[in-house]
Structure 1
Amino acid sequence: MSSLRAKIQDVFNEPACEQNRGKNAKARKEGCSKPLTPGAAAGGCAFDGAKIVLQPITDVAHLIHAPLACEGNSWDNRGAASSGPTLWRTSFTTDLTELDVVMGQGERKLFKAIREIKEAYGPPAIFVYPTCVTALIGDDIEAVCKRAAEKFGLPVVPVNAPGFVGSKNLGNKLAGEALLEHVIGTVEPDDAGLYDINILGEFNLAGEFWLVKPLLDRLGIRVRACIPGDARYFDIACAHRARAAMMVCSTALINLASQMEQRWDIPFFEGSFYGITDTSEALRQISQLLVKKGADPEILGRTEALIAEEEAIAWKKLAAYRPRLEGKRVLLNTGGVKSWSVVHALMEIGIEIVGTSVKKSTVEDKERIKQILKDDNHIFEQMAARELFAMLSEHKADILLSGGRTQFIALKAKTPWLDINQERQHPYAGYDGMVELVRQIDLAIHSPIWCQVREPAPWDCQPAVREELPRTKSETATLHAVQKFAGTTADDLGEC
């Protein structure tokens, strides 16, 4: 546990963070995130964060050394996609029981599970994740992994991020530390080139990185490793031979990018593939970094030609949506890179941003939003469900873009909603992704269902006054009998 505590302190001492550099030594070690309150792990614990970062490595077996519920509650929590191997879709756990804990059988059971996975699947590597239970009972995960690697002849990587050590964001960073310590730099490629890059913090949600990779292919730029989206173990092991890197989500893996720059002189920049302008700028910066590292400067001209061609196609497609969406108001309840890159992307086609959440954004992200919106009143640190519902009910926004947890607030307020977080079904990256995002917003806002659900319910409508028909003698006698029995008169009952 002492080694884990030291590792956590090292993660918080982040030299690539401009705000962190301005703190004194004590404040720097405390980090920026709030401590995790026991029993209140909403948003994810450290184990969940580590699993999110590493599970998209598609050809690796991910083994959870814990009771069954730890794996069941964390499995498949991101819609990452694979172009090949499907082993990552198989769930592995040691299924630790109370008897195993009492009898001290945890390490033996873990070793046996590693052997069974090796014999049945033959993966290039096995990642082992301890959780709160196995960390608290003192199972020596690193010793078991080291012994198993020697015995079975394959890498067995301990991912030391039990849930109780902190938040999901800390787990993201501890996963990056595991890759630095046990994976990256362990294999030397025989085909390293001047146009190799790494993409860090890209999860390939809904396969959206596949909309960007063809652009890089056309420029002759090879993605040595995309970490973690659609990644392979061998590619990550060779990632130290890339010439440059792009950081997509600094909140998750900024420590990985900065450490790779220090160890292997791989310069990086933070960019986004959301929106036409940001995609073009990302391509430019990638080419510029490669030229600084020795690539032929002619790639700069080819990059500008590609950008001009793709932008013209994208703007032509978006022209059909501009009259339908210009002036529409969007409320964003997201975080991270999307808090500023999507804002910029939507404003490019004339959509008004009435508010954006910055709960999970870095200080740099917030500064970008301020420069784009030029109004702090549209920035929310945190918006409670009641406030979000009130804003939507008062029709201050035409659509809500958020994750699945707030979709029911929008639906209750009878407001269109579009999923833009990790559970989304459509890719929004690159030029084609921007067109798809605008198309989905248009479909959501102009769906005929909203006119129907906003109409008053039939039981809330006043029924039409029916002309009173003359009663027969028998009907009149029956009415009088009922009134007499009830002790009322016709005046008391009113019209019947």
Structure 2
Amino acid sequence: MSSLRAKIQDVFNEPACEQNRGKDAKARKEGCSKPLTPGAAAGGCAFDGAKIVLHPITDVAHLIHAPLACEGNSWDNRGAASSGPTLWRTSFTTDLTELDVVMGQGERKLFKAIREIKEAYGPPAIFVYPTCVTALIGDDIEAVCKRAAEKFGLPVVPVNAPGFVGSKNLGNKLAGEALLEHVIGTVEPDDAGLYDINILGEFNLSGEFWLMKPLLDRLGIRVRACIPGDARYLDIAGAHRARAAMVVCSTALINLARKMEQRWGIPFFEGSFYGITDTSDALRNIAELLVKQGADPEILGRTEVLIAEEEAIAWKKLAAYRPRLAGKRVLLNTGGVKSWSVVHALMEIGIEIVGTSVKKSTVEDKERIKQILKDDNHIFEQMAARELYAMLSEHKADILLSGGRTQFVALKAKTPWLDINQERQHPYAGYDGMVELVRQIDLAIQNPIWCQVREPAPWDCQPAVGEELPRTKSENVTLHAVQEFSGTTAADFGEC
């Protein structure tokens, strides 16, 4: 437990964070994460955060050393995708019972579970996650993992991030520390080159990374490790031989990027693949870092040619949506990198942003939003469901972009809604992703169902006795569609 406490203190003292550097020594050790309220989920615990970062490593067996519910409530909580291995989709847990806890059988049961996974699946590595119960009873996870690794001849990685130690963001960083301590640098690749990069904080949600990889391939840039999206254990183990790195979500793995720069001299920058301009800037920054690291400067010219070609194609596709979406008002209830990157992307095509949440955003994210919107009135830390409903029901926004938790608020307010968080079904990264995002917004706003649900219900406008009930607009539209299809005329149906 003392080693865990030291790790947490080290993670809070993050010199790569500009805001943290401006604090005194005492305030820096307290970190930026808000303290948890007892009994509150606070958007996820440290165990949840560690699982989010490491679970998309596709060929690894992820073993949860805890009662069954800990794994059941956290499994498959993100829509990450794999291009190959499916072992990560299998749920492993030691399923501790009350008797195991009372009799002190936790460590023995963990060792047995590791052996069974090794014999049945033969993975390249096993990640072991303790949770609140096993941390509180004092199971020595690191000792068991070390003994199992020696016994079975494969890496067994302890991910020491039980839920009670802090927030989800802290769990993200502790997962990065586990990779630094036990994985990265343990394998020497035999094909290292001058055009190898790492991408950190990219989760490949709905296959978004696959929209960017072909662009990098065309430039001759190889992604040695994408952590964690669609990752393989050996790729991450050899990630220390990359020449440059891009951090997509700074709140998650900024500590990993900074320490990899310190240990192996891998420079990094923070960027985004959301929106045409941000995608182009990201490609330019990658090329410039590689040139500084010894790559041929001709890659800068090839990058500009690629950007010009892809931007021309994307803008041509978006031209059809401009007149349909110009002046439409969007409300974003999300956080993190999306709080500013998606805002910038939508404003590029003339969509008005009436508000964006910054609940899970860093100080740097908030500064970017202020520079983009030029108005603090459109930025809110948190909006209660009642306030969100009032804003939507008063038609202050034409569509809500958020996660699944607030979709029913939008539906109750009879307002279009689009999923922008990790549960989404469509990739929105890169040039093609931007076109898809705009297409989905257009489909949601222009859906004829909204005209129908906003009309008064038939029982709210009953006619007087003997008076014919008037048809609604939607009934007229349907009637004319039937007429065109069947070849009949309006006279056959009476006046519309």
Q: SS state of the match for residue 73, structure 2? A: helix
Structure 1 residue 2 displacement after superposition: 1.0
Structure 1 residue 270 displacement after superposition: 0.4
What CA deviation, in whole Å up to 9, does each residue of 1:317-338 have, x standing for no partner?
0000000001000000011110
What is the correspondence of 1:385-424 to structure 2 with a 5 Å cutoff?
Answer: 385-424=385-424
2-structure distance, mates of 1:149, 1:394: 60
The number of residue pairs the alignment matches comes to 496
Structure 1 residue 44 displacement after superposition: 0.5
1-structure distance, mates of 2:344, 2:143: 48
2-structure distance, mates of 1:370, 1:166: 29
Structure 1 residue 472 displacement after superposition: 36
Mark the CA change 1:110 to 1:460 in structure 2 (over 3 Å): closer, same or farther. same
2-structure distance, mates of 1:442, 1:368: 26
What CA deviation, in whole Å up to 9, does each residue of 1:45-68 have, x standing for no partner?
000000000000000000000000
Structure 1 residue 35 displacement after superposition: 1.0
2-structure distance, mates of 1:127, 1:180: 14
Structure 1 residue 482 displacement after superposition: 48
8 Å contact 2:203–2:227 — kept in the other structure? yes
8 Å contact 2:42–2:167 — kept in the other structure? no
Structure 1 residue 33 displacement after superposition: 1.0
What is the correspondence of 1:212-231 to structure 2 with a 5 Å cutoff?
Answer: 212-231=212-231
Give aligned-pair identity as a percent: 94
**Aligned position for 1:34:** 34
Structure 1 residue 40 displacement after superposition: 0.4
Q: Which one has a bigger Cα radius of gyration?
A: 1
Structure 1 residue 42 displacement after superposition: 3.9
1-structure distance, mates of 2:415, 2:476: 52
What CA deviation, in whole Å up to 9, does each residue of 1:132-164 have, x standing for no partner?
000000000000000000000000000000000
Q: Structure 1: 5+ residue runs without aligned partners?
A: none
Mark the CA change 1:42 to 1:457 in structure 2 (over 3 Å): closer, same or farther. farther
Structure 1 residue 466 displacement after superposition: 2.2
Larger mean CA deviation between 156-165 and 466-475 belongs to: 466-475
8 Å contact 1:38–1:164 — kept in the other structure? no
Structure 1 residue 465 displacement after superposition: 3.0
1-structure distance, mates of 2:112, 2:62: 15
1-structure distance, mates of 2:281, 2:485: 86
What CA deviation, in whole Å up to 9, does each residue of 1:226-258 have, x standing for no partner?
000000000000000000000000011110011
Q: SS state of the match for residue 127, structure 1? A: strand
Structure 1 residue 462 displacement after superposition: 2.8
Mark the CA change 1:458 to 1:255 in structure 2 (over 3 Å): closer, same or farther. same
RMSD: 9.2
8 Å contact 2:195–2:221 — kept in the other structure? yes
1-structure distance, mates of 2:434, 2:489: 71
Structure 1 residue 101 displacement after superposition: 0.4
2-structure distance, mates of 1:473, 1:80: 42
Mark the CA change 1:375 to 1:115 in structure 2 (over 3 Å): closer, same or farther. same
Mark the CA change 1:468 to 1:427 in structure 2 (over 3 Å): closer, same or farther. closer
Mark the CA change 1:190 to 1:495 in structure 2 (over 3 Å): closer, same or farther. closer
Larger mean CA deviation between 260-269 and 456-465 belongs to: 456-465
- State the TM-score, normalized to the length of structure 2: 0.94
**Aligned position for 1:323:** 323
8 Å contact 1:176–1:253 — kept in the other structure? yes
2-structure distance, mates of 1:17, 1:484: 63
Mark the CA change 1:492 to 1:299 in structure 2 (over 3 Å): closer, same or farther. closer
What CA deviation, in whole Å up to 9, does each residue of 1:240-281 have, x standing for no partner?
000000000001111001110111110000000000000000
Structure 1 residue 458 displacement after superposition: 1.3
Structure 1 residue 464 displacement after superposition: 2.9
Structure 1 residue 480 displacement after superposition: 48
8 Å contact 1:52–1:172 — kept in the other structure? yes
**Aligned position for 1:247:** 247
1-structure distance, mates of 2:439, 2:478: 65
Mark the CA change 1:397 to 1:93 in structure 2 (over 3 Å): closer, same or farther. same
Q: Are residues 1:479 and 2:479 paired?
A: yes
8 Å contact 2:36–2:42 — kept in the other structure? no
